[in-house]
Amino acid sequence: MKRLNPLNDFLFLKLMGEEGNEVQCLSFLNAVLSSKNKAPVKLIKILENKTFTAEIIGDKSCILDVRAETDKGERINIEVQLNDLHNMEKRTLYYWGREYTKGIGKGDDYIDLPKVININIVNYDQIKLDDFHTCFHLWEDDHKDYLLTDILEIHFINMVKYKMYKVKNKENHSEGTSPLVRWLTFLDKDSSEDELEEVIQMDVAISRANERLNFVSQDQEFLRAYEIREKALSDWTTGVNTAIEKREIEIARSLLIDGMPFELIRKHTGLDIETIKSLG
């Protein structure tokens, strides 16, 4: 049977975001943190477990992020976004703000507000840097080493750049032993059977995640929901991209009327030259 995509957000939730998934969720979180030389987390509690019906899964706006809380009260939010909906920067800040404000009740002191760590796994070129793993905080503009506060921490893991990294470092086996690389190898639907077997043998938490994946893959109700989710995400992405293309065409037409050269219109809209010419 063809391996299911672990980065389908519904399947990812089943692997990481339900009670009983603490071992693999904690391992993945610490793999991300250690990649940026941050202190490991010792314990987590998974938050907001839900039962999702097929109808809810089919709702394109359904939020399927993984939420957890550490033993130090830090809030963790992990989201998978495989298609570019052109809103990820604002989306991750919204999710961060949601978790931040949930950490305080009426009458509580602001000092009790929690640190929130957002981890975004994306499958497109979100951050225009070479690294497949980037991390953001609140730094002062003219004094880059002055951190205002560490309560905001946002990670991006770019699967496209990870695959490029993997190809480049194929012969460097020592690189492949890092915890984050092992996890991304497992989560990459295009990893070979040999690659998967190697990381499963090397890491107990990944082995547990693989057992969980195999278990839910035998559930016909889950498989139905998985396929519904795949279709919903595909339809949503198509709709967003169609709307963006229509807007770019209208902009191109307006620029053509103003006499702007084809090459400049291409730079402004992203449309290819042949498409632009056909609008004249």
Reading the chain (280 residues) residue by residue, the pLDDT tens digits are: 689 999 998 899 999 999 999 999 999 999 999 999 999 999 999 997 665 655 555 555 566 789 999 999 999 999 998 888 778 999 999 999 999 988 777 777 888 899 999 999 999 888 889 999 999 999 999 998 999 999 999 999 999 999 999 888 875 544 457 999 999 999 999 999 999 999 999 999 999 999 999 999 998 988 888 888 777 766 656 655 666 677 777 787 887 777 788 887 777 777 778 877 777 6
Sheet architecture: strand order including 66-70: 44-46, 66-70, 75-81, 116-122, 147-158, 133-139
Residue in the structure block whose two tokens are 């043998």: 201
Helix, strand, or coil (residue 50): coil
Residue 82 confidence (pLDDT): 83
Strand partners, 156: 120, 134
Residue in the structure block whose two tokens are 């999710």: 95
Query: pTM, whole model, 2 decimals?
Result: 0.81
Residue 175 confidence (pLDDT): 47
**What residue segments make up the domains of the chain, in order of their start?**
9-218, 241-278
Helix, strand, coil percentages in the chain from 3-state DSSP, rounded to 5: 50, 15, 35
Q: How does DSSP classify residue 120?
A: E
Quote the tokens at residue 212: 């969980």
Residue 111 confidence (pLDDT): 85
* Segments of the chain assigned E as strands: 44-46, 66-70, 75-81, 116-122, 133-139, 147-158
